[in-house]
Structures are given as C-alpha cells and as structure tokens.
Structure 1
Amino acid sequence: MILKCYIIDDDIATIRTLSEYIDRHSELVLVGYDTNPVAGLDKINNNSVDLVFLGINESLVNGLELSSLISHSVYKIFITALPDFALAAFDNNAFDYLLKPISKERFLRCVKKLSSYTEKTHKAEKQQLAFIYVKSESKGKLVKIEFDEVYYIESNDNYIIINLAHAKHKVYIPLKAVLNKFSSSNFIRVHKSFIVNHSKISYIQGAQIILKDKTTLQLGSSYKDRFLSLVEKYTLKHHNSDFELNG
C-alpha cells in the first residue's frame, strides 16, 4: 500500500532528511511539507494524506495540540529531539515517534512496522475490491477494469497505461499511487516503470519476466530482492535425498 506523506517541522534540515528517506522508499510518496504548523494543517485537511510526520519541540509544543486537529484516519509519527516529548506523543494517538537526528535504520523500522499494520488493517477491504473505474479519454466516460484482466501497468512521464489482454487505458496519475488501488497480494512493482499482475506471469528467466501474453518486462535492480523473495515463497524446491523405491 502506498502512503501519501506530509511533513511539518520547523527544522528544514530534518525535512530534507525525511524527504530523502521517503523518496527512496517504494511504499511512500511525499505530497508536501511546511515549517508552519497552522499552514501545514490547512494543507493536510484539504488534501488526501495518509501519514504525517509532525515535529514537536520546546518552541513548538503546540505540535501536540495540532495532532488532535488532524483526522483520526491519518497516521501520525512525531519527530523530536527531546525524549520527554516522545512519551507524550503516545498520549496523542501517535503511531510512533522518531528522535532527532533521525537515522535511516530507525526510519525504516518505523515504516516497516506501519506497513505491516496497514497491510493487515486493509487486507479484508482489498480482498473484497476486485475492480476499479478509470476515466476514459472520451469525455464523461468511466471504464470498469477487472483486476484479474490486468496484465501489467507501465509508467510514461505523467501518466500510466493499464494493459489488458485486448485493450489499453491511459490514466493521468503517478505509478506509485496505483498500488493504493490495486490489491498488493497480486500486483507488485518490478521496475521503476512497471507494476505486474503476479497471476499473469508465465515464467522468469534471469532479469526478465515473461507474461502469458508473451510480453517481456525487465526486472529492475532496485526491486529485485523484494520480487524474488515473493517468488521464493511460492517456489517448489527440490531436496536431494538418499531414499530408494522398493519393489
């Protein structure tokens, strides 16, 4: 599941660090940031945000008060240089907190915990959802797309192309946002430009993924480990043994 993130902190260096971490994470996308908590709150409430990194410190104690004004559906991770404020974070419905300076390892542990939680929370909903509507290039027309008909999704600049067996649909959204709509159990990102329906894979050869319609997709190096770990779960392994057939 892709989480849309927003950062509020009065330290621009912290914002820069978090922005770099978020940009390098395949399940996060940064939609904005602000050093002004009031302005940031207004932007959060007027945009679809899933996760807020909210800074609190001695000069910005109202960051704790600000959290109560943010929708309960938005996950909150507090960032602070003061351990005492970190404890207060959990009294304000924080999912977690990060102490400054924020290390990459601590950030990844935090996000991994959140990803695991959101995956379990939304699992039932994703299992029920088996289709999506997309805007057609014909004005006013919505096209229903069944998930099991999708072979792969490719990115091209500011739009994506959803490839079916006998049709293609262009949609003007970023590729990272697509995984929010498609079930993560079947769809996985295998390249910076491709998301593939795992059920449409015919075979894998080296760094190439061949689909049932003969399409060949390249497996990107940044996505290789995650993809192969998923494949490993469903691989029937051959174990050598010394048994003999009798009779």
Structure 2
Amino acid sequence: MIRMNVNYILPFLLLLVSFSSCSRKYKIEGNSSVTSLDGKMLFLKTLQNGQWVTIDSSEVVHGLFSMKGPVDSVMMVTLYMDDEGIMPLILEDGRIEIIISNSQLSAKGTLLNNALYEFIEKRNAMEVEMGELERKEARMVLDGANLEDVHEQLAKEEETLAKEMNDYVKDFIIENYENVLGPGVFMMMCSTLPYPIMTPQIEDIMRTAPLIFKENAFVKDFLSKAKQNMQLLEEHKRLQQSSETTAMQH
C-alpha cells in the first residue's frame, strides 16, 4: 500500500489555496451609448467607515471603458461619475459586463451580479406597474366609471402591489442574509427612507436575521440610529399626549 506523507501534502495544499486566492480577479468591460459620458472618468467606490473610497477608475472612450484588478473579498460597490452614483454592482471574481444606456443599466456575467440585476429588473417592473395605476384611473373615469368605485378598486390594487413589492424585497434580503447581496439591498432599501426608522418590513427582516447580517457595519449603524429615532418619536408622542391631556383638564 502506498502511504502519503501528510507533512508533505499539507504545505502543498496551502500553496494551492494561496495561488487560487491570488488568481481571483475582476474584469469589467463596459459599454455606454450615453454620449454625455464620453471622455468622462468613471470610478468604482465602496463605503468604508462612512466614507466613499475609490477602488478603481477608467475613462470612457468612444463609449467603452474597462477596469481590472485582484479580488481580495467580494464586495458591493457603486459606479460613480464625479460625485454622482450611477449604479451598484458586485466586485467579484470573473468578467463583469456593464451596459449603460438611457433605458438600461445592467451589470451581468457573474453569479451575484446576475442575481442583483434580476432583482432590480423585477422590482423596477413592479414600480412601473404601480405607476400605471394613475393612467388606469384616468381611463376608467373617461369610460364613465363612478369616481368613488374607481378610487376604491385602485386603492385595493395599489395595496396588493405594494405588499407584493415589499415581500419580494424582504424575501430577497432574507435569501441573501449571508452574502453581500443581503446587506447591500438592505442598504439600498433603507436609503429611500427619509431617516433611519424601524418599519414593519425592517422588523420582519431582522426577526430571523443571523448574527453575520446584524454585525454588518451598515446594518449595525442603521439599526442603532433607527432605535434612537424610535425612542425620540415615542418621547415626542408621550409629551404631545401629556400636553393634550393637560389642555383638556383646563
């Protein structure tokens, strides 16, 4: 029987791990049909300790741009032109194809970017459907439908669509708790709020969230600020009720 020397094999395996980690690289190939981008510099930036840090950059020449480099760890980044964020993407091992046009923004070619933009496209389609309700209302009224009946019907449709969209976002975050998509989409969702606050949707997300998600720097910071704001709102509500009670007694 042939016996393998473990003391020989182990360093060899470690060497393989070392080489494989060094060989992980991203390659971005971008194509833009937006003429105003020609000659502009694009930057890849990531949020670190509350600051946007530049990772890479490229000039757009005749609608084309490219970037490449090593991937130490998978991260969510934002493509910027000057100080304007254009689109999110995942910096990961592989070839990432970016398309920028007046009607489309997409980053595809790698596993997480494909998942991210499938999510974004479906959510955008839901938003378009929500926007269609106003036009639907105008058509129904022009067709002679009763205004109150129209409002009642469309209010129900809007509520159903809003719940469907909220559930879709929530489920996507839950499915991706343990990779960068979960915290990244959570960050995108929270950025639409006027200020950090605990909503029923966020409470649902946090109810089953694992420690790795809760310990994410952005998630942790958001939750801390949201809880402070909730306490302030409760205090304001309590003072208002106390003031109203005093006024009624007088």
Please give the TM-score of this superposition, normalised by the length of structure 1: 0.28
The structure richer in strand per residue is 1
Higher helix share: 2
Provide TM-score, normalisation by structure 2.
0.28
Q: Which has the larger radius of gyration?
A: 2
